Amino acid sequence: MLYHSSPEAVVDGTLYTLLVFSIVTWTLIFFKSWQFYWNGNWNKQFDEVFWNAESFDQADTLPESTFRGPLARIARQGFNWLKESKSAAAKRLKFRGTPHDLLEQAMSVQMQKEERAMESGLTVLASIGSTAPFVGLFGTVIGIMHAMHNITASGSTSLDIVAGPIGDALVATAIGIAVAVPAVLAYNFFLRRVKVQRGGLENFVISFMHAALSTDTIK
């Protein structure tokens, strides 16, 4: 009795696992799409407002509503470091070194945080994309083994008896592939978006440093 029921439970468990994979995949797709859409809009708006400021000091006094998105948070980190370096706190050990290098390091740390936020969830998509077909294949193998045992027990090898159970077992593989394809496509798409936005953040850090140097904000 255990032999007959266990394979069915394994196949059902495989299908439920693939269902969970699918739910996680589409949840991440919608969330990451929302995240990159708004990050792109906020970065574009802040970049335009920031570089249209009349001076570096004026850029620091932009409304707080302007400082939204990864680019704005990196800029805010740079402004905060510049203010802190000129205060009494500048005597602390973390301010020992070349101001230019220390400012760049402070902004780079914030940029790395933004990159980690953008990359969050991509590992899950990659894992689902690579494992879902094998999970489905596992369910298919167990299902075929179970079907073969039932066929042997029935003593009939007619096409109707053989094709039905084996066809049902192959459904698990089909579902596994159907789950994997969106995950792989989404992973590649979002990875590309991460690289594009990372390039924009790196360019902004370099431009921010040049602006700070040109106004003698750091020496």
Instruction: Give the model's pLDDT for residue 143.
Output: 78
Instruction: Give the model's pLDDT for residue 91.
Output: 65
Report residue 2's pLDDT band, with 50, 70 and 90 as the boundaries: very low
DSSP 121: T
Distance CA 109, CA 147 (A): 57
Q: Where are the domains of the chain?
A: 2-214
Q: Residue with structure tokens 């602390």?
A: 92
Does the pLDDT value for residue 3 go beyond 50? no
Instruction: Give the model's pLDDT for residue 111.
Output: 93
Does the pLDDT value for residue 51 go beyond 60? yes
Instruction: Give the model's pLDDT for residue 1.
Output: 41
Give 172-207 pLDDT, tens digit per residue: 889 999 999 999 999 999 999 999 999 999 999 998
Measure the N-to-C terminal CA separation of the chain; round to a whole number of Å. 81
Length of the chain counted residue by residue:
219
Distance CA 61, CA 93 (A): 28
pTM of the model as a whole = 0.81
Give 53-71 pLDDT, tens digit per residue: 888 878 888 887 778 889 9
The DSSP string of 130-179 is: HHHHHHHHHHHHHHHHHHHHHHHHHT---HHHHHHHHHHHHHHHHHHHHH
Give 115-172 pLDDT, tens digit per residue: 999 999 999 999 999 999 999 888 888 878 777 776 676 665 665 655 556 676 788 8
Between 30-44, 51-65, 99-113, the lowest mean confidence (pLDDT) is in: 51-65
